[in-house]
Every structure is written in structure tokens, then in C-alpha cells.
Amino acid sequence: MSGCDVLVTGAGAVGGHAVEFLARRPEIRRMAVVDLRADVAQGVAWRARLGALQEDRNVSVEGFGLDLSDIGATRELIERLRPRVVLHAATLLTVPEMARGLSPEDFARVRADGMGGFLAAHILLAKVVQSVLDGMDIRIPMITAPFPDFTNQVLARTGTAPITGIGNVDNIACEIQAIVAEKLGVSSRDVTPMIVAHHSVGEWFQRSGSAGDAPWFARVMVDGKDVSERFDLTALMSESSARIRPVPQEQRTAASGVKAVLAVLRDEGRYLHSAGPCGRAGGWPARLWADRLELVDVPGLDLARAEAINNAGQLAGGIEAIEPDGTLVATARCRTMMRDLFGVEVGRVTPDAIEPTARALRRALSQRIAA
């Protein structure tokens, strides 16, 4: 399948839904999905093809078994496929896995003290894909799903930065857009949210109905007019979070990925909210083309304050700093939690230590769940 439109890495909840959604879009003629388990990748690919056919869309979807940490095999496949864009959704572990497998007390502590402790496990496979793409004779943009507010900063310091990340602030913006439209009785398409917020904000809202320790900034336009002062946006987010809390969230994150993929394929400067845009911390409103992303100015917010908001959100997520070479520095609270619960040291993880730390985290989580 030389010259496919999209390669999706990871056929789990986010990647699997993204394949299903993308297969039904007229922009997609050929696509591929890879997963560590060949049967899962092939099953997702066949299901997506069948679903598209139900809507009279004849699309080629192929599934491959691949260990993305095998750089040689990953290079061979990507060079053969030569996709126009890569949606990277693969990771060594997932938050739903932790939610299902850990005790409620342990999972609550992980969320409170910082999901950032698990970043190495989210970065490892992305670094391999990044390395392969950097060695290609054509430029292939990468869009990231696993914790992009954090991971894209590391990737930007170790190679070509992903063009954007998905979910997180984009999910927050969609919630504000929908609920403001509902309250005003207008079309959602007439509502334009402008949100600067870190992943931690969405995490807190889903958990407790408030932004918690993480600051955020929001403006809402309706037909070009700022209506922000008419609403308590925190209260609206709390209401939206309560509505959606009982059900899985991965489908809407996948939809965010579909929007980003289509923006690249269409090359039209689509307005969206980008997580970790071109290696920045946190989430920002932006416009996305095939070869670039540009931040959108938010009225009443300058760049320095926006960066401070996102850096504060990163701190609330357990990461004190990401150094110029890509070294992760965890907060004292986060590294103590990771040591207590999983016996893994994450206080300072250099790029060279990402792989052994990621493997140790995977083993420790599996052992904790089994116990």
C-alpha cells in the first residue's frame, strides 16, 4: 500500500475509533493501522472497512502487526507505506488500564500527585516513530495522542517536533462550544471558543467538576462577538463534565485526531485547539495546515501569561520542568508517589533513560494490577 493517506499507530480505544471514523471520510482512500497484536490491527482495519461500506464508502484499510520499538521493522513499514500523515496513538500503558486495574485509592493518588510520572511510557514509541520520520526523504507530519501537552516538548528537543497533539484542550473547547450554544439556543457552528489550558485542567474537571490546582483562560465568541462575561465558564465545564463522566472518553479524543488529520490532508488552515503545538507546553487555539501550525491570538491574553498558565498546569500534572535536552524533571510529590506505589524512580529522566524507565513502568504497573 505505497502512498497511503494516513497511518494510525495503535489500535486501542483512541486509535481504533480514529480508524473507524477516518474510513468514512471522503478524503481517505487508503489507510493503514498498526498494533503490537496483528489480529487486533487486522480486526480494526476490517471492521472499519465494513463500517465504511455500510455508508457506501469503498476504502482500503490494512492492518499490520508491528512492535513499534523495533526501529528497523518500523522504518521498513513506514518507508513502504509512505503515508501523508501519521496519527500516533500507541503507548506502553493507558489511563483506562490504570483505572480498571488499580485500587480506587491508588488510582486517586496517581491522579492527584501527577500522571506525569508515567510520561516515559508514553514517549518511548513516539520517539521511535519520530526517528524514522526524521530519516525519510519526504516530510511526513506526525500528530500525537498520548499526553501531547507533555510529550511533544520532549520530542521537540530530540528531533522534529510533532505538528500538533490531539484531545485535552480540544476536548475542553468542544464542551464549551456545545454547552454555550445550548444555553443561547444557537447553532454550535456560530460559537467559537478560545481556550488556553493544560491537560491537567481537563483531568481535574473530569475527576471533580472543577479546574483544581490548574489555571485556565477562556473566551467565547458568538458570531464574532465576545459573550464570555455572560457565563460562568467554570460552572458550564462542571455541568458538561457531570454529563459525560459516566461514559468512556476515548471516542471524542479520537474525533479530535480525525479533525487534525483532515486539517493536514486538506491544507486549509483549520481552526482547532492544539495540545503541545510544535513542542510548546499545554494547549492553545491554532490554525493547522499540511506543513505548519500557527497559534491564534486570544483577546486579553498575552504570550507570557499564556505560557505561565500552561506551565502551571504542567506542574499540577507532576512535571516540574522539561530541560533543553528533553530531560523530564518530576515534582517531589509525583516522584514520591511513583516510588511508593510502583518502585520506579522518575525524579529525573534523561532522553537516554526513557526506554529503560518506560519498560520499568510497564512491568511495575502489570505487577501492581496482578497483585
Tell me whether residue 329 is exposed, middle or buried, using C-beta atoms within 10 angstroms of its C-beta: 0 to 12, 13 to 18, 19 or more.
middle
Question: At residue 89, what is the residue type?
Answer: A
Q: What is the pLDDT of residues 155-171, one digit of tens each?
A: 999 999 999 999 999 99
Q: Is the domain of 96 the same as that of 157?
A: yes
Q: Note whether 274 and 257 are within 8 A (CB).
A: no
Q: Which of 106, 126, 127 is nearest to 117 (CA)?
A: 106
Residues of the chain above pLDDT 90, percent:
95
| Interval 308-330 mean pLDDT | 97
Q: Is the domain of 302 the same as that of 241?
A: yes
**Residue 291 in this model has a pLDDT that exceeds 80:** yes
Helix (H, G, I), strand (E, B) or coil at 242: helix
The predicted structure's pLDDT at residue 90: 98
| Interval 42-54 mean pLDDT | 98
Gap between the Cα atoms of 270 and 289, Å rounded? 7
The predicted structure's pLDDT at residue 1: 54
Count of Cβ atoms closer than 10 Å to residue 302 Cβ: 10
What's the total number of domains in the chain?
Answer: 3
Contacts of 140 (CB under 8 A, 6+ apart): 78, 82, 83, 84, 85, 86, 133
Domain assignment present for 37 = yes
Provide the sign of the torsion angle of the four alpha carbons 363, 319, 95, 74, taken in this order. Answer: negative
Residue 209: pLDDT band (50, 70, 90) is: confident
CA 139 to each of CA 160, 290, 348: distance values in angstroms, whole numbers, following the listed order = 10, 10, 32
Gap between the Cα atoms of 265 and 268, Å rounded? 8
Domain assignment present for 94 = yes
Domain assignment present for 151 = yes
The predicted structure's pLDDT at residue 255: 98
Rg for the chain, CA atoms, rounded: 20
**Residue 2 in this model has a pLDDT that exceeds 70:** no
- Whole-model pTM: value is 0.97
Q: Where are the alpha helices (DSSP H) in the chain?
A: 13-22, 38-54, 71-81, 95-101, 104-113, 119-134, 148-158, 169-184, 199-208, 233-244, 250-266, 303-316, 332-342, 354-370
Q: Is the domain of 306 the same as that of 360?
A: no
Q: What is the DSSP string of 263-285?
A: HHHHTS-EEEEEESGGG-SSEEE
The predicted structure's pLDDT at residue 161: 97
Q: Is the domain of 307 the same as that of 187?
A: yes
**Residue 4 in this model has a pLDDT that exceeds 60:** yes
Q: Is the domain of 303 the same as that of 326?
A: no
Calculate the dihedral angle through the C-alpha atoms of 323, 10, 99, 337, rounding to the nearest 10 degrees. -20
Q: Is the domain of 173 the same as that of 133?
A: no
Calculate the dihedral angle through the C-alpha atoms of 351, 130, 162, 206, rounding to the nearest 10 degrees. -70
Q: What is the pLDDT of residues 324-345, one digit of tens each?
A: 999 999 999 999 999 999 999 9
Q: What is the pLDDT of residues 170-180, one digit of tens each?
A: 999 999 999 99
Beta-strand relationship, 6-9 and 85-88: parallel
Q: Is the domain of 210 the same as that of 310?
A: yes
Q: Note whether 291 and 139 are within 8 A (CB).
A: yes
Its domain, for residue 219, covers 169-249+297-314
Domain assignment present for 322 = yes
Q: Which helix (H) or strand (E) element contains residue 295? A: strand 293-295
Q: Is the domain of 154 the same as that of 178?
A: no
Listed range (187-191, 209-213, 215-219) with the worst mean pLDDT: 209-213
Q: What is the pLDDT of residues 122-149, one digit of tens each?
A: 999 999 999 999 999 999 999 999 999 9
And the C-alpha cell for 218?
477562556
Torsions phi, psi for 35 (to 5 deg): -155, 160
Gap between the Cα atoms of 288 and 292, Å rounded? 6
Q: Note whether 133 and 78 are within 8 A (CB).
A: yes
Listed range (74-78, 89-93, 244-248) with the worst mean pLDDT: 244-248
**Residue 319 in this model has a pLDDT that exceeds 90:** yes
Q: Is the domain of 326 the same as that of 308?
A: no
Q: Is the domain of 115 the same as that of 216?
A: no
Residue 213: pLDDT band (50, 70, 90) is: confident
- DSSP letter (8 states) at residue 147: S
Torsions phi, psi for 186 (to 5 deg): -120, 170
Domain boundary among 314, 345, 362: 314
Torsions phi, psi for 191 (to 5 deg): -105, 125
| Interval 11-21 mean pLDDT | 97
Q: What is the pLDDT of residues 228-272, one digit of tens each?
A: 999 999 999 999 999 999 999 999 999 999 999 999 999 999 999
Q: Note whether 31 and 4 are within 8 A (CB).
A: yes
Contacts of 13 (CB under 8 A, 6+ apart): 94, 96, 248, 250, 251, 254
Q: Is the domain of 306 the same as that of 237?
A: yes
Q: What is the CATH number of the domain that holds 76?
A: 3.40.50.720
Q: Is the domain of 339 the same as that of 349?
A: yes
CA-angle at 351, arms to 153 and 88, nearest 5°: 55
Domain assignment present for 1 = no
Q: Which of 86, 81, 84 is nearest to 128 (CA)?
A: 86
Question: At residue 15, what is the residue type?
Answer: G
Domain assignment present for 157 = yes
Calculate the dihedral angle through the C-alpha atoms of 102, 108, 110, 113, rounding to the nearest 10 degrees. -170
